[in-house]
Structure 1
């Protein structure tokens, strides 16, 4: 009688290349930072020009006066910055998805947060204060449980939250015309928010490079064993 052969354990998926996704994320973050720096320049230009005698663009009760050339150009800068930020968000999430998959392949452990939170974690109120950072931290800790979390992760997250605060940062509570009126009457909060967001983009790029380099180091270490 033939003995039954023991079941073969499924082979863990091999880590996927991550350097390309990291480079794209760094470039996208640099462009997003440049877009917000350009917005800051236009805020300064508006403040220096001063509010026209005709008053702010949005004059209340649904009345909007024609925009001048500088105000029109700010609308273009604002729209371009929004588009660049949206593309940056997509590229960053693609990088995060890649390093999450690699962390699972290297550690053999499932991610702490299910896949759906990769997207919902940024937009669901309250939990968006910690889940995105938790996903990034999980990528590092699952592969390097004995290493301290790089400080740049906390710097990035602190700056990101500061950029969200106050209704003048990443998510404006006012329309573009109302932001123009803010620049005329009190530009400093706008400039402070712009500076924080530019710093957050730069810190995020450094974080991407740091976590990618660490993960690639582990991939290179395990490559001979997997070949």
Structure 2
């Protein structure tokens, strides 16, 4: 009788749970979208009310008049929006961190971008035009090198860049009082920027769900 030798099977990779992080990221992105819709609604209210006879909140020369009730409530909406956006960013990056670790464990290859780029790649000028997308793309390609990158990744990134363009949307170059004045003078550009941000949040939520599901199905297929 010929004895058959079996090939030893290596230990399964060390994987991090990611479903909970994905649910939190999707919930945070949806909440961020809702807050930006509220912001747009307040800008419509400002435009409909019209600029007061006393002029814009920023009177020039460092002089600011006291805000009226509607303007004061818009300040509150933007403050809440800023806080929600910050929390959303942290939750999203925590999800991406887990996905990157799993992709590295499954592929056995080091990520193209080091760990530090996960956090600073979004804020370094010029580099932030492609590194964040590259971080997300690597999560997919390290496990599915033969598959095309899901279109939702490109939609998300295109909308994100559109939201950053010209200092409108995600990051405003103007302070809140100046934005209020813009709403009085011409609200449509502000509403367009808000629409882009809401669409970007929706695309990001869909992307999180799509990539997480694909990675988890791959893990299940491998029997880990």
TM over 0.5: yes
SS of the aligned residue for 1:59 comes to: strand
- Residue 92 of structure 1 pairs with residue 75 of structure 2: no
Compute the displacement of 1:147 (Å). 0.5
1:63 aligns to what? 63
Compute the displacement of 1:111 (Å). 0.6
Cα distance change of structure 1 residues 100 and 82 upon mapping to structure 2, 3 Å threshold: same
The runs of 5 or more residues in structure 1 that have no matched partner are 1-9
Q: Write the deviation string for residues 6-31 of structure 1: whole angstroms up to 9, x where unpaired.
A: xxxx9564211211110000000000
Alpha-carbon distance in structure 2 between the residues aligned to 1:204 and 1:106: 23
RMSD across aligned positions (CA): 1.1
2:175 aligns to what? 175
Q: How many residues align?
A: 215
Alpha-carbon distance in structure 2 between the residues aligned to 1:168 and 1:152: 23
SS of the aligned residue for 1:55 comes to: coil
2:158 aligns to what? 158
2:5 aligns to what? none
Q: Write the deviation string for residues 116-158 of structure 1: whole angstroms up to 9, x where unpaired.
A: 0001100000010000000000000000000110000000000
Q: Write the deviation string for residues 161-182 of structure 1: whole angstroms up to 9, x where unpaired.
A: 0000121211100110000000
1:120 aligns to what? 120
SS of the aligned residue for 2:58 comes to: coil
1:147 aligns to what? 147
Alpha-carbon distance in structure 2 between the residues aligned to 1:90 and 1:135: 15
2:4 aligns to what? none
Alpha-carbon distance in structure 2 between the residues aligned to 1:43 and 1:86: 21
2:24 aligns to what? 24
Alpha-carbon distance in structure 2 between the residues aligned to 1:105 and 1:194: 38
The runs of 5 or more residues in structure 2 that have no matched partner are 1-9
Which of 49-58 and 159-168 deviates more?
A: 159-168
1:40 aligns to what? 40
